Amino acid sequence: MLWLRTLNLGIKSLLLHPLRSLLTVLGIFIGVASVIWLLAISEGISKEAQRQIESLGADTIMIRSVQPPSDKMAASGVTPYGLTRDEFNMLVQTIPTLKSAIPIREIKRTFKYKDRTVEGRLVGCTPEYADVTRLVINRGHFISDAENFRRESVCVLASDVAAELFPYEDPIGKRVYLPEHTDYYRVVGVLNFRNDSAAIGGSLEAQSFRSDIYIPINTLQQRIGDTVVRRAGGSFSGEVIQLNQITVTVKDIDDVKSTASLIESALASHQDMEDIGVVVPLELLEQAKTTRFMFMIFMGLVAAISLLVGGIGIMNIMLATVTERTREIGIRRALGAKQKDIISQFLVEAAVLSVVGGITGILAGVFCRPAIVWTRKLVTESYPDTMAALPDVVRNVTPTIVPESIPIAFGISIVVGIVFGLFPAIRAAQMNPIEALRHE
For residues 180 and 214, membership in a common domain is answered with yes
For residues 357 and 389, membership in a common domain is answered with yes
What pLDDT does residue 201 have? 47
For residues 265 and 302, membership in a common domain is answered with no
Sign (positive or negative) of CA dihedral 249, 252, 257, 262: negative
Identify whether 154 is part of a domain: yes
Give 356's contacts (C-beta < 8 A, 6+ positions apart): 25, 28
d(CA 19, CA 30): 16
Residue 29 pairs in a beta bridge with none
d(CA 364, CA 308): 19
Q: Which of 242, 274, 306 is the last residue of a domain?
A: 274
In which element (H, E) is residue 96 found? none
What pLDDT does residue 202 have? 45
For residues 356 and 330, membership in a common domain is answered with yes
For residues 213 and 352, membership in a common domain is answered with no
Residues of the chain with pLDDT under 50: 201-203
For residues 207 and 91, membership in a common domain is answered with yes
What pLDDT does residue 203 have? 45
For residues 207 and 294, membership in a common domain is answered with no
> Which tens digits make up the pLDDT trace of 206-246?
577 888 999 999 999 988 888 776 555 555 556 788 898 88
- The answer to whether 343 and 425 are in contact (CB under 8 A) is yes
Residue 186 pairs in a beta bridge with 154, 175
Pick the closest to residue 417 from 39, 38, 21 (CA basis).
21
Count of structural domains, the chain: 2
Domain of residue 176: give its range: 67-274
What pLDDT does residue 150 have? 93
Identify whether 280 is part of a domain: no
d(CA 84, CA 65): 9
Q: Which of 247, 274, 301 is the last residue of a domain?
A: 274
Pick the closest to residue 260 from 281, 288, 282, 280 (CA basis).
280
What pLDDT does residue 31 have? 78
What pLDDT does residue 189 have? 94
Q: Residue 406 is which amino acid?
A: I
For residues 250 and 107, membership in a common domain is answered with yes
Distances (CA, A) of 60 to 25, 70, 172: 52, 30, 32
d(CA 205, CA 379): 28
Q: Which of 252, 274, 296 is the last residue of a domain?
A: 274
What pLDDT does residue 145 have? 93
Q: What phi and psi, each to the nearest 5 degrees, are found at residue 200?
A: -120, 100
Identify whether 61 is part of a domain: no
Identify whether 337 is part of a domain: yes
d(CA 125, CA 109): 16
For residues 424 and 346, membership in a common domain is answered with yes
Q: Calculate the dihedral angle through the C-alpha atoms of 33, 38, 41, 42, rounding to the nearest 10 degrees.
A: -150
Identify whether 78 is part of a domain: yes
Identify whether 58 is part of a domain: no
Identify whether 123 is part of a domain: yes
For residues 300 and 249, membership in a common domain is answered with no
Identify whether 281 is part of a domain: no
For residues 101 and 197, membership in a common domain is answered with yes
For residues 126 and 228, membership in a common domain is answered with yes
What pLDDT does residue 389 have? 67
> Which tens digits make up the pLDDT trace of 12-41?
666 666 777 787 778 778 878 877 887 787
